[in-house]
Structure 1
Amino acid sequence: MTTHRPTRTCPHPLCRPLHAIAATGSLLVAAAVAPHGPWIIGILVIGGLFSAAIYQLVHRQTMVASIKEELHQTVTITARPAWARAAAIVDAIWTVIVLAMLASVLADQTASDWGTPSRITLLASVAVGVVLTATTEGLHRRAVHIERVQADTEA
């Protein structure tokens, strides 16, 4: 068993496997539903753009900058246990929702219900996604304490 090193996106040891399961399930749902409703691919693209923007707003930097910091070890990240557990619980809820959607899609083989949705349905789904993503990112941000590593400037 390896020791867990917290990151901005995975403050709890369960976050990484939950993220992997939810992402795989989401891709399977998208692959199963996209032939019946191509508009779903558009919703996924919009969701991805909102996710990147929300990450940047919450963490005050881009995902790429966060990854570079962690790879170059220019920051020390310490998990806050209570917030990390809350983030893992939200990740578990997301994972259960995705797996329930996957089971529903796989159980229902009819394509008649996947027509183009109304504008209000599209806007509502985007709004709910934005709120849930902001909540998730906010919890993940609160779950870690980030300190910049001071470079030794002695010559």
Structure 2
Amino acid sequence: MSARVGAILMAVLLALYFVLAGWRAVQFIGTGEPVAIAIGVALIVLPVIGAWALWREIAFGARAQALTTRLEAEGRLDLGLPTLPSGKPQRQAATERFDEFRAEAEREPDSWQAWLRLGLVYDAAGDRRRAREAVRKAIELSRR
């Protein structure tokens, strides 16, 4: 399942949850009991927090995809890493060449392209947390 299909599925499920939880929240609040009212309010607040988190992830993915498309149009998307039959870069090769991409980002600290490439190598090396940080930095720099 692609990330886009997964995100759409999550959004649909969240919408369904909103409807069902909202209906139940109204029932709880309608009882007039303090504990039931608290549960009803929680049934309204928690899905809103979930929707906010989902929106942030979808927005991040869309911005990252837009930058990747721009990088590809500039001819700088190819990281020069050997790939597996699936097309994914080999993790070991990404780890071995990681220092080159980090040095590029350090040489060009205001280049969104360098930070995006670093994020892609982090991802290929299996370090998702740092990959997201680098891509966030690239998104921030691209807005300047």
TM-score by length of 1: 0.29
Structure with more helix by fraction: 2
Please state which structure has a larger fraction of its residues in strand.
1
Structure of greater relative contact order (alpha carbons < 8 Å, 6+ residues apart): 1
Larger Rg: 2
**Which TM-score applies when normalising by structure 2?**
0.31
